[in-house]
Structure 1
Amino acid sequence: MTTATPLDWIHAFDPETLPDTHYAQARRCLLDLLGVAAGATRTPLAAIAERFVTTQHGGERPLLFAGGRASPTGVALHGGWLIDALDAHDGQVLTKGHAGVALLPGLLALPEVESLSGRALLGWLALGYEVATRAGIALHATAGDYHTSGAWNALGVAAVASRLLGQDRATLGEALGIAEFYGPRSQMMRCIEHPTMLKDGSGWGAMTGISAALLAGDAFTGAPAVTLQAGDVASLWEDLGRRWYLFEQYFKAYPVCRWAQPAVEAVLGLGAIEPSAIERIEIRTFHEARRLHTPHPANTEQAQYSLPWSVACAVCFGTVDVHGITAALESPQVHDLASRVHIEESDTFNARFPAERWASARLLLSDGRVLESEPCEARGNPTNPLEDAELTAKFHALADPVLGERRARALHETVDTLESCPASDLLALLGAP
Structure 2
Amino acid sequence: MSKILDFLHGLSFDDLPSDVKHQAWRCLLDLCGVAAAGSGTELSRIIRDHAANHFGAGNGSAVRMLFDGRRVSPAGAALAGGMAIDSVDAHDGYPAAKGHAGAAVLPALLALAEGPDEKTCMDAAEFMTSLVIGYELAIRAGVTLHATAPDYHTSGAWVAVACAGLGARRLKLDPGRSRHALGIAEYHGPRSQMMRCIDHPTMLKDGAGWGAMAGVSAAYLAADGFTGAPAITLESGDAAGHWSDLGTRWLMLDQYFKPYPVCRWAQPATEAALDLRKAHGLKASDIDHVEVVSFHEACRLATREPVDTEAAQYSLPFPLAAALVHGELEPAQIDGAALRDPETLRLSRGMILSEEASYNAHFPAERFAHVALYLKDRRILTSEPSCGRGNAENPLSDAEIRAKFRRYTARRLSGAASDELEKAIQEISTGRGTATSLLKAVTAPALVEQADSP
Q: TM-score under structure 2 normalisation?
A: 0.93
Residue pair 2:11, 2:129 contacting (<8 A) in 1 also: no
Instruction: Mark the CA change 1:112 to 1:393 in structure 2 (over 3 Å): closer, same or farther.
Output: closer
Give the Cα separation in 1 of the matches to 2:257 and 2:363: 18
Of the three residues 257, 261, 280, the one matched with 2:289 is 280
Residue pair 2:181, 2:218 contacting (<8 A) in 1 also: yes
Instruction: Note if 1:257 corresponds to 2:263.
Output: yes
Q: How much does 1:406 deviate?
A: 1.1
Q: How much does 1:19 deviate?
A: 2.4
Give the Cα separation in 2 of the matches to 1:368 and 1:111: 60
Cα deviations across residues 117-142 of structure 1 (Å, max 9, x unaligned)?
21221110000000000000000000
Instruction: Note if 1:411 corresponds to 2:421.
Output: yes
Alignment correspondent of 1:295? 304
Q: How much does 1:15 deviate?
A: 4.0
Q: How much does 1:401 deviate?
A: 2.9
Instruction: Note if 1:143 corresponds to 2:149.
Output: yes
What's the % identity of the aligned pairs?
49
Q: How much does 1:7 deviate?
A: 2.5
Report SS of the residue matched to 1:110.
helix
Give the Cα separation in 1 of the matches to 2:153 and 2:80: 21
Q: How much does 1:4 deviate?
A: 5.2
Pairwise mapping of residues 4-403 of structure 1 onto structure 2 (< 5 A)?
Answer: 5-59=3-57, 60-110=62-112, 115-270=121-276, 271=278, 272-327=281-336, 328-403=338-413
Give the Cα separation in 2 of the matches to 1:112 and 1:429: 13
Give the Cα separation in 2 of the matches to 1:119 and 1:317: 43
Q: How much does 1:27 deviate?
A: 0.9
Give the Cα separation in 2 of the matches to 1:61 and 1:267: 44
Alignment correspondent of 1:427? 439
Residue pair 1:41, 1:47 contacting (<8 A) in 2 also: yes
Report SS of the residue matched to 2:306.
coil
Give the Cα separation in 2 of the matches to 1:57 and 1:71: 6
In structure 1, what residue type is equivalent to 2:299? R
- The alignment of Structure 1 onto Structure 2 pairs a total of residues equal to 431
In structure 2, what residue type is equivalent to 1:283? V
Give the Cα separation in 2 of the matches to 1:380 and 1:248: 10
In structure 1, what residue type is equivalent to 2:21? Y
Q: How much does 1:75 deviate?
A: 0.4
Residue pair 1:61, 1:111 contacting (<8 A) in 2 also: no
Q: Which runs of 5+ in 1 are unaligned?
A: none
Q: CA RMSD in A?
A: 1.3
Give the Cα separation in 2 of the matches to 1:349 and 1:21: 31
In structure 1, what residue type is equivalent to 2:422? H
Give the Cα separation in 1 of the matches to 2:114 and 2:237: 34
Q: How much does 1:421 deviate?
A: 3.0
In structure 2, what residue type is equivalent to 1:193? D
Q: How much does 1:9 deviate?
A: 2.5
Report SS of the residue matched to 1:401.
coil
Report SS of the residue matched to 1:253.
coil
Q: How much does 1:214 deviate?
A: 0.3
Q: TM-score under structure 1 normalisation?
A: 0.97
Give the Cα separation in 1 of the matches to 2:423 and 2:104: 23
Residue pair 2:270, 2:323 contacting (<8 A) in 1 also: yes
Q: How much does 1:112 deviate?
A: 5.3
In structure 2, what residue type is equivalent to 1:146? Y
Q: Which runs of 5+ in 2 are unaligned?
A: 447-454
